[in-house]
Amino acid sequence: MPNTHFFHVLQKASHHFHIPLTKVQLQQYDAYMQLLQQWNSRMNLTAIVKEQDILVKHFVDSLSIVSIDQLHTTKRMIDVGTGAGFPGIPLAIAFPHIHVTLLDSLQKRIYFLKEAAQQLHLTNVTCIHGRAEEYGQNSQHREQYDLCISRAVARMAVLSEYCLPFVQVGGVFIAYKQPDIENELHEAEAAITLLGGRIKKKHHIQLPNSTITHSLVKIEKVLPTPAQYPRKSGKPSKSPL
């Protein structure tokens, strides 16, 4: 079993978010943290390396999505720009019924993610190396997911062009963002509409037992994304819609 503090923090967070976690799932989180720390000593996966910070800023933060969507009906999820696997892997552990695709543009991160999925016995995880602009035009991934998530740092107009093409009509895109999101959302409204989305809900979150706050933005996919989007690699960030 994980150590007592680790167990306590995750159990408290899971109760707060109404996510039941088994002993096996707690062991998976513990093993994931150990893997992250081991690999991070050899390559720069994350600047967050202390156990307490990993617990709160990565694990609990990833699980906070249930404040805006319970995920019970989600079957296929893609995490765009997953980095070291956040929020995708913590959600794959908590919701084993969801098939989670982890997409990242850096090959060394994919090596880590594949190793983590294997070590944690996450048969519901697929890792792919590439850019969102490329895979968003790939018929095997375009509009094939009922949920797209991203904790990437791009502004909403750019992030929406990366993410909305993956979402099927009727599905949703949820972005983890900074607490003050109003201006960024306002400047992204036209792009979101053009890409077939509609802002459904924005929710301010305070992570349990911490002073950390952020926003979750839920965007419904109401129309197919026009065929020309996403544009070629680099174009969305250089010339936002």
Predicted confidence band of residue 144 (pLDDT cuts 50, 70, 90) = very high
Q: What is the pLDDT of residue 66?
A: 94
DSSP label at residue 56: I
Predicted confidence band of residue 1 (pLDDT cuts 50, 70, 90) = very low
Q: Are 125 and 89 in contact (CB under 8 A)?
A: yes
Share of the chain above pLDDT 70, in %: 99
Q: Which residues, 6 or more positions from 228, have their beta carbon under 8 angstroms from its beta carbon?
A: none
Q: What is the pLDDT of residue 152?
A: 77
Count Cα neighbours of 63 within 13 Å in the Cβ-side half-sphere.
Answer: 26
Burial grade of 4 (CB within 10 A; 0-12, 13-18, 19 or more): exposed
Cα(215)–Cα(185) distance, integer angstroms: 11
Predicted confidence band of residue 161 (pLDDT cuts 50, 70, 90) = very high
Tell me phi and psi for residue 7, to 5 degrees.
-60, -45
- Helix or strand holding residue 221 (H, E): strand 213-221
* Tokens matching residue 55: 């617990």
Give the predicted TM-score (pTM) of the model.
0.95
Query: Taking the mean position of all CA atoms in its chain, how far away is CA 204?
Result: 17
Cα(134)–Cα(88) distance, integer angstroms: 20
Cα(55)–Cα(29) distance, integer angstroms: 9
Higher pLDDT, 224 or 208: 224
Cα(206)–Cα(19) distance, integer angstroms: 17
Q: Are 118 and 102 in contact (CB under 8 A)?
A: no
DSSP label at residue 91: H
What mean pLDDT value characterizes the chain?
93
Higher pLDDT, 155 or 208: 155
Which CATH number among 3.40.50.12780, 3.40.50.300, 1.20.120.80, 3.40.50.150 corresponds to the domain 67-222? 3.40.50.150
Cα(27)–Cα(5) distance, integer angstroms: 13
Q: Give the pLDDT mean for 195-208.
A: 93
Cα(93)–Cα(228) distance, integer angstroms: 35
* Tokens matching residue 1: 């079993």
pLDDT at 151 over 70: yes
